[in-house]
Structure 1
């Protein structure tokens, strides 16, 4: 039996020797149960975090006003994007390698992987931050004055965001979803809100500078505590006396992940940045509030992805293409109808939800309607990219995201000057439609499966669908 790692490379012989007998006696039941529990906990945390994020953004908008709030969210979104991209895929590569090394008893490689991912990500983030600070120094006179100081402070957040993402991946790989997700999605937003309120109470102005300083403090405090906790748990679980580094193998896996996740991350966040480049901060605030409100609908998609990924993996590795096709169509049903229902309710409540941010934010209702069209277009195809990924079609996924991102950027540049915020929403929705169409075509061509809400299952597929679920 030959064992290979996720890069397609042979595992070191001493690890393969230890892994083979263990691998042959592993039961799928235990892994499935653990994965299901982790998925349920992760989804619960994300639901709670969505509520916290929504309420905290309303409070911040109320405290700061649309102009200062727009400056803050523009800078904060840039920091989140650059911090995440700084990892260069290592935060997900940890999830790919660590379980394999754990099964093989390779504690030295686990500790080496954890240390390498942290150091690499922080160095990369520091380099990007230093480049940004240098650009502010030399080009500061060409940047709107209200952005300069928040951008300068925001640059110092990047290493902590990158380290937090790596710690997130490390905790997920060990089956610690609470330690993985709660620091970033629950603790940090609550601390930002508390620090802003505290600073205002002490006499500071309720402006973007105060908010970004609060975000800086919250990011450092949250990440340092997470680092101490996760590192302690790692050392207790894997008591290695030395570390073992396989940097080239890890990088070969991390970089394709970076391309796929980087394109997707930019695709879902680039519109806010482009709006900030073309329009004043108060417009950024309105657009961000509308997009944040519509993000509530995305949780249907997130839930289906979390539930379907493992089942897709098992069906792809099997020899029952009818069951795979039937389950794929079923995930489309799970995605589309709840998304349509939740989205319709959010749209109906849109004016009220936006009014919570402030009177000026109600102008974002039409933005919500346009974004909803794009969300529904994606829901009509379901989690097609998950199926492609589990089928080993990583490169085509990256190409699809890259194409959708390029279309998003180009359409934003064209439509924002002409139509303003509606142009930004139209560009984003159009990119979603392009992504959905490409997924539909590629899944059909590569796998022979029709993922579309209106498709009819072939004869015999209904029985297989019930078995697959």
Structure 2
């Protein structure tokens, strides 16, 4: 058994997945520290306001990118395999131009809405700046992940900048100071700007010399894919962040802060899903477009093995240590252990489903992905309206978990039918869990 474990850990895919998961876990730990310290340095209502505007900014960043971050991952991998420098230059220029214009429009809309709601100009300015820099970091991380490394992409997006913010919050807490939401947004924006600068420098060095290359475009393909990526990413962001906004609107700021804290802890499994997406987005598309069937299936199988171990250990951690982790946000947070457990069940099911969403999107089947995500959002909203008046914040957690579980099942069924592989951990329970040779590159061209 020991020899088998050693051999398992020596596999290149295992090391890659494990390294990506460790990066996500580290970034998640610092995110947890950031939010728990923020809750300790703010009033309950202040933390709820911060959590709500953070959710608004995250959704706005995704909407403002209009699908260009996923578009770059999709086409940069294809063009790199085909050594198409002209199209590489074209898609980079097009994406930067479109996302820049769209972000200006979105930031203007945020400022107008915040002003109508009566928020102070300092908070409006801080949230707007955070939204812009966060969008730049999201876009830059996708390019850096494809062209440089996962560490440069995801590390700068989610890990390195949080270290400085956590140290700042520790100083405030030890000095018995108090923070307003606008001040924390400003500190986060400054730290993220440093990470964005590092990404820009690394990508500029990694790109081939494109100065003498004439940019070519495939506008019809790009527009079609970008539209589906945009809708899908906006719905995903709504799935992840709109809950807090609804709880804030239907209940109160303090309860929104409690729900936000519980959902961030439950994201221990969402971090696993994000790690699988990051690793899959870097490795799977090139295998798909080069028709390397055997390595494609081998990678999925090893990803499923790592996922199974993480899901089991994560559920044990949430069940035993949940109250202690919630108490780090404040004494009144610890009473919501069942909210955390319910949310964790949903995100655990999503993680166990594997990178089905990534496979569908990055291999040209993004059209069938969008209706599933839309149905997930719609079901969750209906559940909120029905269950929150009856069960309060626990009703919100139940609605989120049920909708997420149903969406995960649907995505896995579609992934098996369209790509011929089972990306979930259930593939480990049967021999030959994937059907060799059934996936084909035709979907990448048709968008079916």
Scaled to the shorter chain, the TM-score interval is 0.7 to 0.9
1:49 aligns with 2:27: yes
Aligned CA distance change for structure 1 residues 422 and 197 (closer, same or farther; 3 Å): same
Taking the TM superposition and a 5 Å limit, the aligned residue runs for 1:396-411 are 396-411=368-383
Counterpart of 2:346 in structure 1 is: 374
Q: Is the 8 A contact 1:332 1:383 kept in 2?
A: no
Aligned CA distance change for structure 1 residues 395 and 358 (closer, same or farther; 3 Å): same
**What TM-score, normalized by structure 1, do the two folds share?**
0.76
Q: Tell me how far 1:354 sits from its aligned partner.
A: 0.9
1:70 aligns with 2:42: no
One of 96, 108, 117 as aligned partner of 1:140? 117
SS at match of 1:60: helix
Counterpart of 1:79 in structure 2 is: 57
**What TM-score, normalized by structure 2, do the two folds share?**
0.79
One of 91, 94, 102 as aligned partner of 1:124? 102
Q: Is the 8 A contact 2:307 2:425 kept in 1?
A: no
1:114 aligns with 2:87: no
One of 397, 411, 415 as aligned partner of 2:387? 415
1:265 aligns with 2:237: yes
Unaligned residue ranges in structure 2 (runs of 5+): 1-10, 437-448
1:191 aligns with 2:193: no
Counterpart of 2:217 in structure 1 is: 246
CA distance in 2: counterparts of 1:115 and 1:360, whole angstroms:
50
Counterpart of 1:215 in structure 2 is: 188
1:403-438 per-residue CA deviation (whole Å, 9 max, x = no partner) reads: 111111221233223322111111110111221332
CA distance in 1: counterparts of 2:285 and 2:196, whole angstroms:
34
SS at match of 1:68: helix
1:165 aligns with 2:165: no
Taking the TM superposition and a 5 Å limit, the aligned residue runs for 1:337-352 are 338-352=310-324
Q: Is the 8 A contact 1:200 1:206 kept in 2?
A: no
Unaligned residue ranges in structure 1 (runs of 5+): 1-32
1:158-211 per-residue CA deviation (whole Å, 9 max, x = no partner) reads: 222222222112212213333212222123223333455667899974221221
SS at match of 1:233: helix
One of 260, 264, 267 as aligned partner of 1:292? 264
CA distance in 2: counterparts of 1:379 and 1:222, whole angstroms:
28
CA distance in 2: counterparts of 1:454 and 1:305, whole angstroms:
18
1:98 aligns with 2:69: no
Deviates more, 1:383-392 or 1:33-42: 33-42
Counterpart of 1:361 in structure 2 is: 333
Counterpart of 2:446 in structure 1 is: none
Q: Tell me how far 1:282 sits from its aligned partner.
A: 1.6
CA distance in 2: counterparts of 1:34 and 1:444, whole angstroms:
25
SS at match of 1:49: helix
CA distance in 2: counterparts of 1:160 and 1:395, whole angstroms:
29
One of 155, 170, 179 as aligned partner of 2:128? 155
1:96-121 per-residue CA deviation (whole Å, 9 max, x = no partner) reads: 33344455655454444334323322
Q: Is the 8 A contact 2:379 2:403 kept in 1?
A: yes
One of 53, 65, 88 as aligned partner of 2:66? 88
CA distance in 2: counterparts of 1:91 and 1:119, whole angstroms:
12
CA distance in 2: counterparts of 1:176 and 1:377, whole angstroms:
28
Q: Tell me how far 1:140 sits from its aligned partner.
A: 2.4
Higher alpha-carbon Rg: 1
RMSD of aligned alpha carbons = 3.9
Q: Tell me how far 1:136 sits from its aligned partner.
A: 3.0
Counterpart of 1:425 in structure 2 is: 397
Taking the TM superposition and a 5 Å limit, the aligned residue runs for 1:311-322 are 317=291
CA distance in 2: counterparts of 1:194 and 1:400, whole angstroms:
40
Aligned CA distance change for structure 1 residues 213 and 334 (closer, same or farther; 3 Å): closer
